[in-house]
Structure formats: structure tokens, C-alpha cells
Structure 1
Amino acid sequence: MNREFEVRSEREIKGTPEQVFAAITTGTAGWLWPIECEPRLGGAIDIAPGAKITAWEPGSRFANRAEKGDWFNELDNVIEPRPGGKSFVRYTHRGAFPEEDWQNLYDGCLHHTDLYQATMAAYVEHFDGKAAEYLTVDAPAATATDAGAFDRLVRELGLTDATLGDRVSVEIPGVGRLDGELDYRSPYFLGIRTGDAFYRFFGRNTWGDPVAVAAHHFGAVDTEAEAKAWESWLAGVYA
């Protein structure tokens, strides 16, 4: 049996409503993951099985919904103009999770929402309109049940004492040096923004899933080779 939930996020973004609309419809590889959609009301979108676009109003609203039985998943973005070329975005995620794991899934959704919405805002501000190459790699499966797995990752990155806004430099064999700003930090996630990429580190062990790394590159990159390098590095961290 499923139980309904609702997660909301509101934030001002340094970008016009048109820029925000483009980011949440065709630019998702730059801050979430690549999502394909038919750009029209009623069009298909591959964010969930059977999902359809329920609102397509360029510059003001974008929504989609999927449903089956007592399960559904609905995402709604309302965009309002603000002075100075800015926007205010009201994001609502409604859906249904299995009753037996509801609290865990809701908590994970709540915290992932904040990370992704913050990254979307940063994408519009720093990389607006740029195409992205996306990759993601899970750490070994055993990290899913290791309460200290994410803290260990942060230590290996040398960022235990780093705070939001700090300039950081991290060397990853096979990936290179990540020189940039610590642009997201919470007990569950860490984010670095360089001059041409976002790097996101996920403490999903909190919710029973493996620790993970994702990268959004705004330039030429061999994603297959980089993914293998991250996989090797993560294996070493948790050896």
C-alpha cells in the first residue's frame, strides 16, 4: 500500500524565467541527469514510467505526472519574474511511497530536492544554456550499510573542515585536479563547482543506498574513461 507525500522548494534564481524554463525542460543534464521530453502539453517525458507533460507554459510553468493504481509521481514548477533579470521558482513534488518505507524515502527525497534545486540555480547562474556531459558512479555496494561511508569519502577528499564557499583543490587519479568552490555542503551531500563542471558527492548510505559520485561537464570529456577512474578511486577508498 502506498502513502502520499509532498515536498516543496522555493528559491530566487539569478536568471530570467526563460532561462529557468530552458534549464528544467531541456537542460537537465547540467544539474540533474539527462531527461528527454516532447516539448508540448501532453508530451511524453522519461522521468518516470508513463509520465506525461501536464503543463507546458514557456517562462512560467512546467509540470508532469505519471500514475498507476495507487501510485503517482507529479512534479510542478511555477516560475515568476523578479526585478534585475531574476526569477522565483516554486517547485512541488507530490507522489506516493510504499507505506513500509515511507519515512526513509520521504527523507531522502526531501534532501535530494534541496541539492538538485540548488544545483539547478547554480547551473542557470554559471553555465546557462551550455550542453552538459553527465556521468555517475556508485561506490561499492557495501557502503549502503556502512553508517560512516560518506564521512570516509569526505576525509579522503580532504574536505572534512571545508565550509561552503571555500576554494578547494582535490586530486583524483585518472580524473585530474578539481580546482573550484565548495558550492554545496550538508550532512548528506558535497558539491564542487569548477570553471567547467559540477561534481556532486552523495551520502546515500543514509537511506540504504551506496555512496555515489556524479559529474556534469560543460566541455569535451571522455565520460567512459572518467567513470572508470572514479570507480577505481572509490574502490580504493573503501578497500
Structure 2
Amino acid sequence: MSKEFEIAREFEVDATPQEVWEAVTNASGAYLWPMEPPEPRVGGAAAFGSTVTAYEPPHHLVVRSEDVGFPVQSVNQLEHVIEPRDGGRRAWVRYVHSGIFTDDWDNQYDGASRHTDFYLHTLREYLVHFAPRPVTFAQLDGPAAAQAPDAFDAVGRALGLPDGVAAGAKASLTGPGGQALEAVVDYRDPYFIGLRTDDALVRFFGRNHWGAPVGVSIHDFAPDADARTDERAWQDWLNGVFGQS
């Protein structure tokens, strides 16, 4: 049965409103994934067939689609409200994701809500630690075994991430090829793990909780970064976690 939803979040960040605006409109993959940036006008085209319905830089952006094309969703709207704080040196952001889910409402809402928290956290990590460095983006999914109920637990074990390591701690972990990976564990809960290195944000998604494989995205800010190299390395790592060659 179709039912409306709304997921609203507010936060402050150590970035100017203009820096936040650039991050959410350039669609480079710095904290989400590369996509079509919104045309800078009301009525302009935006990602996934959506339309810009509000465009007031650097304070207000709304994009909306009423023909989403997903079997479980018919309407999708994303709104960003950005206001200055501390004389413009910081920004306050209100983000609202709303629309209509047409099926599997509880599961879809739970997944969207939890992903929202992780994506907005990644936005703040990018703004504070990496902006405006250009990004090289890669993403990948695990094999079929990565859909198992305990699949995300296996990811934590393969990283060598102790149970007691909480968000904000530094850790020496095991990355692709068995190499040591020195990182800050910037996000950790039963559904997601976020790692921040000197040059990258590496994000692990426990989508097995919603019936999909575990996924990884790499936002690489190194000057010599190569998306294909990042993708191959982490795909091999993730396949190895689940016994796939």
C-alpha cells in the first residue's frame, strides 16, 4: 500500500554555506556518488530524472521526481536548507528526504533513514577533512554470500576491527592484499563502518540487513588516485571475505 514518508535531519558543520552548497550541487562523488548535477534554475533537470523546484544559492535547493522508476517508490524529493552560523564561518543544514513508498514501507523507510545518517555524516567528513580536493570515486558489491544475515559481522572481522573500537578511534586494520591500513574509524554501528585515511573515505554498507549484498564505496582524494585500481583492490578484498575468487 502506498504511503508517504519524510526523513528530516539537522546539523551544523565547520564549513561555510557556500562550501556546503558546492558539495551538494557539484555531484562529484565526494560523499555520495557521481551523478548529474542540478541545472542552476527552477525547472532545470537534476539526477535520476528529477526536476529542480527551488534554487536559491547557497541557501535552498529542492529536487523532485514524480516518476522515480523504482518498483517500491513513486515520488522522491530532496531538500537542503543551508544557513550561516558564527558570522558565516559555519553552516547549519536541514535536510529532508520525502516522497511515497508504494510497497515494503517499513523496510524501505528503515533503510533510507539509516543510510541518510551515514551519508550526511560522510558529507561532514568530506567538508571538514577534504574539501575542496577533487575526488576519484569507486563502488562495488559483495558476492551473493554477502547477503547473509551475519555478512556485515564478517566485514568487521576481516578488517581486524576489534569490537571495542568506537567511532573516533584510530586503528591499524587489514586492507586489500593484507596491507596495513591506518585509519580513523569515523563511523561505526551495526549497519555501517566509515574509515578515514589521510587521502580517502572508505565506506562499508551492511545492506544485507535489507536483503542486498554488503557494499563498499571509496572516495579517494589522492592526486594519483585511479578508480579502477581502487575498485579491483576492494572487490578482491570483499570477495575474499566471502570465499569468492
Which TM-score band applies after superposition, normalised by the shorter structure? over 0.9
- Check conservation: 1:168, 1:180, Cα contact below 8 A: yes
Percent of aligned pairs with the same residue?
Answer: 44
Query: Alignment length, in residue pairs?
Result: 235
Q: State the 1:169 CA deviation.
A: 2.1
Please give the TM-score of this superposition, normalised by the length of structure 2. Answer: 0.91
User: Given the superposition, is the C-alpha separation of residues 174 and 53 from structure 1 closer, same or farther in structure 2, using an over 3 Å criterion?
Assistant: farther
- Check conservation: 2:168, 2:186, Cα contact below 8 A: yes
Measure the CA separation in 2 of the matches of 1:192 and 1:236.
19
Measure the CA separation in 2 of the matches of 1:176 and 1:53.
45
Measure the CA separation in 1 of the matches of 2:99 and 2:204.
26
Q: Name the amino acid aligned to 2:155.
A: L
Q: State the 1:6 CA deviation.
A: 0.6
- Alignment-derived partner of residue 151 in structure 1: 153
- Check conservation: 1:27, 1:131, Cα contact below 8 A: no
- Check conservation: 2:158, 2:174, Cα contact below 8 A: no
- Check conservation: 2:192, 2:204, Cα contact below 8 A: yes
Equivalent positions of 1:118-133 (< 5 A) are: 118-133=121-136
RCO greater where, 1 or 2, for CA within 8 Å and sep 6 or more?
1
Q: Name the amino acid aligned to 2:92.
A: F
Q: State the 1:39 CA deviation.
A: 2.4
Measure the CA separation in 2 of the matches of 1:153 and 1:44.
38
Measure the CA separation in 1 of the matches of 2:178 and 2:36.
28
Partner SS for 1:30 = coil
Measure the CA separation in 1 of the matches of 2:63 and 2:178.
36
- Check conservation: 2:218, 2:230, Cα contact below 8 A: no
Q: 1:48-102: CA deviations, max 9, x gaps?
A: 2x20111111121111000039821000000111116111100000011123x11
Q: Name the amino acid aligned to 1:43.
A: G
Equivalent positions of 1:99-118 (< 5 A) are: 99=103, 101-118=104-121
Q: State the 1:11 CA deviation.
A: 0.6
Measure the CA separation in 2 of the matches of 1:221 and 1:176.
17
Indicate yes or no: 2:62 matched with 1:63. yes
Measure the CA separation in 2 of the matches of 1:172 and 1:79.
37
Gaps of 5+ in 2: none
Indicate yes or no: 2:38 matched with 1:12. no
Residue in structure 1 matching 2:191, options 188, 191, 208: 188
Equivalent positions of 1:73-92 (< 5 A) are: 73-83=76-86, 85-92=89-96
User: Given the superposition, is the C-alpha separation of residues 126 and 214 from structure 1 closer, same or farther in structure 2, using an over 3 Å criterion?
Assistant: same
User: Given the superposition, is the C-alpha separation of residues 45 and 175 from structure 1 closer, same or farther in structure 2, using an over 3 Å criterion?
Assistant: farther
Measure the CA separation in 2 of the matches of 1:32 and 1:212.
13
Measure the CA separation in 2 of the matches of 1:172 and 1:143.
18
User: Given the superposition, is the C-alpha separation of residues 137 and 117 from structure 1 closer, same or farther in structure 2, using an over 3 Å criterion?
Assistant: same
- Alignment-derived partner of residue 43 in structure 1: 44
- Alignment-derived partner of residue 168 in structure 1: 171
Partner SS for 2:122 = helix
Q: 1:90-130: CA deviations, max 9, x gaps?
A: 0000011123x111010000000000001111111111122
Indicate yes or no: 2:57 matched with 1:53. no
Question: Superposition RMSD on alpha carbons, in Å?
Answer: 1.7
Residues 162-171 or 173-182, more deviating = 173-182
User: Given the superposition, is the C-alpha separation of residues 2 and 175 from structure 1 closer, same or farther in structure 2, using an over 3 Å criterion?
Assistant: farther
Measure the CA separation in 1 of the matches of 2:63 and 2:226.
32
- Alignment-derived partner of residue 22 in structure 2: 22
Q: State the 1:222 CA deviation.
A: 2.0
